[in-house]
Amino acid sequence: MTETAPLPINGCGRGVRGESVQSQSWLAWLPVVAGVAILYLPAYRDLSNVSADTQGAAQIPVCLAIWIWLVWQKRAIFGIPDRAIPVSPLGWVLVAAAGLLYAVGRSQEFYQLEIGSQVPLFVGTVLVLLGQGALRRLWFLPVFLLLLIPVPGSLLNDILVPLKKVVSTIVADGLFACGLPIARDGVVLYIGRYQLLIADACSGLNSMIALTAIGCLYVYLRPGRGWLATSILLAAVLPIAFVANLVRVTGLVLITYLWGERAGQRFHDFAAIAEIIVAIGTLFLVEHAIRLSQGDRSMNRDVRA
């Protein structure tokens, strides 16, 4: 972590009186936090109830935890300053727009609008209470909130069905080239005496979104590179998530082949964690490769910057 700022920024060096102002400025968040709880606790509860049906929400618990952790990291910026902040009409417009989005989304069970309303609400609230400068330092938080928006089930299906076909073809062809007795007929994989449904084998593809989120977070948390390295890393996030999935499906097929169907099913539970480790590890390797290929030149630039 490079950006752990010390906590009491605006209370700094003001003695006792400054500290009491500090505590007041935190109390001012209470009505806002209460409002957020009233609006979004029921939203997330409903979403988790239907998420067995809509797997587009699979990334939410992970991303929500990361987001709260990010807020904690940036807590110093959330202290409401003493000095008057210029009135922000844009901030109020955003708060009102968020309200409309939420009301329509919640009443129509349109989770994308309901959860998505958090983005304008956050930006608007920061503008109104903390001002533009704070928003500039917190820009990553609303961007990360976008990742919490559940993917509509229909869109997920449109993307996942073709993707599953590609993944299974690559896995089957790859293992066949390695000399294993594997064949694919339509959406069924045959290996040894077992047959696997591609729909089941690839069900973990839903974690692509969570992996992408974690990848973006990794890129964000490791600054101090040139813009070129950053954009290469960002561009690599999706392919890496894809490769991590290939590894997972290959592992599942191999374990089923070697130790039977039961072992394969048990691997399902462990697979998600393995996938994240593979993804982060690969990102780390890519980052190192970029460092090496750029050589001392970019290192010097980083030091100067």
Residues that bind another protein (CB under 8 A): 24, 27-32, 34-36, 38-39, 49-50, 52-54, 80, 95-96, 98-100, 102-111, 121, 124-125, 128-129, 150, 152-154, 157-158, 161, 185-188, 197, 199
Shortest distance (Å) from residue 37 CB to another protein: 10
Active-site pick, 106, 202, 216, 225: 202
Shortest distance (Å) from residue 135 CB to another protein: 15
Strands (E), the chain: 182-185, 188-191, 194-197
12 counts as catalytic:
no
Element (H, E) at 188: strand 188-191
- Nearest CB to another protein, comparing residues 116 and 124: 124
Report the Cα 10 to chain-centroid distance in Å.
Answer: 31
Number of neighbouring beta carbons within 10 Å of residue 190: 14
Return the structure tokens found at 28.
């001012």
Distance CA 207, CA 242 (A): 10
Number of neighbouring beta carbons within 10 Å of residue 82: 14
**The pairing of beta strand 182-185 with beta strand 194-197:** unpaired
Shortest distance (Å) from residue 226 CB to another protein: 39
Return the structure tokens found at 145.
């909130």
- Nearest CB to another protein, comparing residues 27 and 303: 27
Which alpha helices (DSSP H) does 130-226 contain, by range?
132-137, 140-145, 153-177, 198-201, 208-221
- Nearest CB to another protein, comparing residues 100 and 178: 100
Shortest distance (Å) from residue 183 CB to another protein: 12
Look up tokens 């990102």; give the residue.
283
Distance CA 223, CA 218 (A): 9
Answer for the pair 152, 106: CB distance below 8 angstroms, yes or no: no
Answer for the pair 120, 94: CB distance below 8 angstroms, yes or no: yes
Fill in the amino acid letter for 199. Answer: A
216 counts as catalytic:
no
- Nearest CB to another protein, comparing residues 105 and 215: 105
Shortest distance (Å) from residue 96 CB to another protein: 7
Return the structure tokens found at 16.
């006792």
Distances (CA, A) of 130 to 7, 20, 26, 27, 260: 16, 18, 12, 14, 59
- Nearest CB to another protein, comparing residues 114 and 287: 114
- Nearest CB to another protein, comparing residues 121 and 283: 121
Active-site pick, 106, 184, 225, 248: 248
Shortest distance (Å) from residue 62 CB to another protein: 20
Residues forming the active site:
202, 248
